[in-house]
Structure 1
């Protein structure tokens, strides 16, 4: 989802589950629940002005010494372009981190520009030099999107490793492509050309599959880490008998590492992120292809709009230097970041890493709860060819 810029009026609500703290922790009983109900006001080219709420919550399901903080981020937003954006994304750690539950639920009545496949697509709409009579560059799309992702992972003994399975459903419907007024609509849209070439419907597509997942969860705090690392390997199988239009499979890789630069101020750190997504077999509908900004929390690709680049394969990397801005307090912090992405597409005959799209920027951090490290993040990112954007979110980008 296009990143929401959240302004003004922050509430911090502590909702105690017990009248007083106890040294006895009942397994999987909610403790230390904290809710930040954020009124949301935003503006971006894809959605116009957005109004609604964007609540964020954290809690624990067990002993704080052995159980990570669980978290949930939601959105209920209406836009001046008559769009509804409703979502809930959560990571829940059960007592002693014995299980992890990861959820991503969305219902969008929305629109978004798309630019064609690969890393070389221009900003302005033009004819694709490798595909006669096909649009290349910015094309608007109206569509409805239903997503239901739920993954369950079991800890392996007392290690930091987890294995699990998930069910993943995406339904794209009422897809309508158009070019802005004043531009002759004489070519085929990229979405229509790709889906027609691969045998998919032009106005509705379903992707329904099972994932096999392996995770290493070694971060000290998942929402805003100071140290150690995280890794994910997810192989997704989308068979027709589960409802997919066509059978396919994909492989997703995600690795993050955090290097504290000061023992006394661990907020002073270097964070690294590598992310890759590959089509392994079969074909995917156009909207389900790997794309920038479609990680779980939509944080990749600062400097570009969500969906700016798309292809059958993608690789992405980012480095971020985070630092405190106060000598003895943790309220304010800053960041400088650089990123790079590359996309490959057989249909446009563009190989992965042939073209790399870099981004860079800086940001401000405001920690509104030190114990849970709940943080408001404000970033401005720059991409190539005039691409840029301002991003305001809850918690660190990765």
Structure 2
């Protein structure tokens, strides 16, 4: 397996070196229509007020979910002409044979020459997912766990199965400061976990059969209800954004800082405060081959006071677009505090720009009651292929293979770039 991974990386790097220097010229519509035209993407204008839609059917299988059928839709629109950025919405819905429902909508909207920036993350899940405890818990009996889009197909030794429902509503509104790239804003954040069924919990009086799960120990130790809890907050936001494109960035940076205050408004909630940062930097390596890019992503989530409910704690794969932690199943690493860093090399594969590739490495650190944030690191690595769906909006279909250091690996199929 190791030799296979090395050979794949070498092949992709050779393709990157030999790819032509011309800009994007061909997308899926051109390929299906047999187009042989060579046109500079910079001359392909997005029409104000027009919707650009890309659809990706989703078919998957996993023992925890059964067969899953659904679709992902990328919607792009330019609301105002001139200097206003392209706005984007990414929507997906999946239904499974185990009666699970997963509906996600994420939006990024720019209005009035970028004076206003609106970002939304709305979700409703009837869900099944194992948890693995807090911090960087490892197992001596590592195995080749396999996942498809974070759906596991084998049971990890540390996994504790759970069923739960989840409602998330995040909405941020920011205002640009003059002609600078800086924004200040406010947001609301609602996390509601309910109908929690801790499947491996056994509170039998017989000590030989009794088993307290990580979720149960954390929740009872902090006086949380073990079947439902809610975290409602107000966010104070500061953003700096110089990216040339929000869907598929070639150059620029993003820095987002937010302070979240969660008051104890309801019976099953507690007061807490939480700090989050998200930093991304895109370095173009060649003027001629302008899609040869080094992309960097760093994000951190820190509990600064009070207690956060177990399932609301930061975890890989639970970021806004469920893209962190390639190589690990969603929720494999969870912590009271969590730090995530990733570097990705992006490069052209075909001269037409229809195909491109990536190679990436990521590192995750997480803390628990007994483990400090910097006590260890979990590494993930992998490679991927991109197919250009629409050159006007730069929307790609992404196919990645990721490997985790605990022997796990996964296949990830999405619309739009990882970050």
Task: Report the TM-score, using the length of structure 1 for normalisation.
Answer: 0.86
Contact 1:120 1:355 in 2 (8 A): no
Paired with 2:285 and 2:100, the residues of 1 have a C-alpha distance of 44
Aligned match of 2:60 in 42, 46, 57?
Answer: 42
* Structure number with higher helix proportion: 2
Change (3 A) 1:98 1:344: same
1:343-367 CA deviation, whole Å, 9 max, x = no partner? 0112xx1011211000000000001
Paired with 1:163 and 1:123, the residues of 2 have a C-alpha distance of 47
The residue aligned with 1:366 is: 387
Report the count of equivalent residues: 357
Paired with 2:77 and 2:211, the residues of 1 have a C-alpha distance of 52
Q: How do residues 121-140 of structure 1 correspond to structure 2 at under 5 angstroms?
A: 121-122=138-139, 137-140=158-161
1:98-130 CA deviation, whole Å, 9 max, x = no partner? 1011011111001111000111243879xxxxx
Residue 196 (structure 2) pairs with residue 175 (structure 1): yes
For residue 255 of structure 1, give the secondary structure of its aligned residue in structure 2.
strand
Contact 2:138 2:406 in 1 (8 A): no
Structure 2 residues not aligned, in runs of 5+? 1-27, 31-46, 143-156, 202-207
The residue aligned with 2:117 is: 100
Contact 2:273 2:306 in 1 (8 A): yes
For residue 113 of structure 2, give the secondary structure of its aligned residue in structure 1.
helix
Q: How do residues 19-38 of structure 1 correspond to structure 2 at under 5 angstroms?
A: 31-38=49-56
Q: Could you tell me how far 1:266 is from its partner in structure 2? A: 1.6
Q: How do residues 238-317 of structure 1 correspond to structure 2 at under 5 angstroms?
A: 238-241=262-265, 245-317=269-341
For residue 315 of structure 2, give the secondary structure of its aligned residue in structure 1.
coil
Paired with 2:417 and 2:140, the residues of 1 have a C-alpha distance of 29
Contact 2:91 2:106 in 1 (8 A): yes
Contact 1:149 1:169 in 2 (8 A): yes
For residue 342 of structure 2, give the secondary structure of its aligned residue in structure 1.
strand
Change (3 A) 1:271 1:111: same
Q: Stretches of 4+ moved more than 6 A in 1?
A: none
For residue 130 of structure 2, give the secondary structure of its aligned residue in structure 1.
strand
Structure 1 residues not aligned, in runs of 5+? 1-9, 13-28, 126-135
Change (3 A) 1:307 1:153: same
Q: How do residues 288-367 of structure 1 correspond to structure 2 at under 5 angstroms?
A: 288-327=312-351, 329-346=352-369, 349-367=370-388
Aligned match of 1:215 in 215, 221, 239?
Answer: 239
* Structure number with higher strand proportion: 1
For residue 191 of structure 1, give the secondary structure of its aligned residue in structure 2.
helix
Residue 108 (structure 2) pairs with residue 91 (structure 1): yes
For residue 93 of structure 1, give the secondary structure of its aligned residue in structure 2.
strand
Task: Report the TM-score, using the length of structure 2 for normalisation.
Answer: 0.81
